[in-house]
Amino acid sequence: MSKVTCDMAMSVDGYVAGPNQSLENPIGEGAEQRLHRWMFDEPDAHAAVIEDITAAGAFIMGRNMFGPGRDAWDLDWHGWWGEEPPYHAPVFVLTHHPREPLPMKGGTTFFFVTDGIEAALARAREAAGDRTVSIAGGAQTVNQYLAAGLIDELRLHVAPLILGRGERLFDTVGDITLEPLGDVSGTALVTHLMYRVVR
């Protein structure tokens, strides 16, 4: 069975998105440039980490990560990433609103799953084969998978900043033990931490 991983960029105080998420601020005010700066300013220094993030055979994300809408679909909306999203694999989007699959350039197809996190994981595992399934986010989706005991490996990318409010990781996930995996690495912009999730 494929391993289930999760990579999350977060602030020191545990936030993975800032407040007031909107079309103009997809992951909240003050968060996008600061949480992910290491990926864009120092890609060579973090090449192996970035490769691990994008190497999954399938991805799962919440609707809030796919787009700003909350009600019926705007069928002209194809995600935040332009015509060629960075996934290059099937992506299963959790939603309450059915939608036909959305194929994009570069091998990404978005599938919209209305019957819960376990159904999305079963479909992602089938699509990934023996490759990893990645829970891509956002915070609510990751917290649901953590609470259900469905994530094997959690990889945190901690930026040296305090957001103070927004979407927090680990809310309502229950009693979880994180066993360190490998060495801590990073630069002045980020510290990479890897854990096995134990319940």
The predicted-structure confidence for 38-88, as pLDDT tens digits, reads as follows: 999 999 999 999 999 999 999 999 999 999 888 899 999 999 999 999 999
CATH class of 4-69+85-198: alpha beta
Q: Alpha-carbon distance 10 to 18, whole Å?
A: 10
Q: 64 near 21, Cβ under 8 Å? A: yes
Q: Alpha-carbon distance 60 to 121, whole Å?
A: 7
**Tell me, what's the pLDDT at 111?**
98
**Tell me, what's the pLDDT at 71?**
87
pTM: 0.96
Q: Alpha-carbon distance 157 to 104, whole Å?
A: 28
**Tell me, what's the pLDDT at 21?**
85
**Tell me, what's the pLDDT at 30?**
82
Give the pair of three-digit tokens for residue 93. 């989007």
**Tell me, what's the pLDDT at 22?**
85
Reference 141, options 2, 13, 8, 38; nearest CA is 8
Helix (H) or strand (E) holding 123: helix 117-128
Helix (H) or strand (E) holding 34: helix 32-35
**Tell me, what's the pLDDT at 70?**
81
Domain regions of the chain by residue span = 4-69+85-198
Q: 59 near 91, Cβ under 8 Å? A: yes
Q: Is the dihedral of CA 89, 117, 62, 193 positive or negative?
A: negative
Given a cut of 50, the residues of the chain with pLDDT beneath it are none
Residue 76, Cβ neighbours under 10 Å: how many?
Answer: 5
Reference 113, options 90, 130, 131; nearest CA is 90
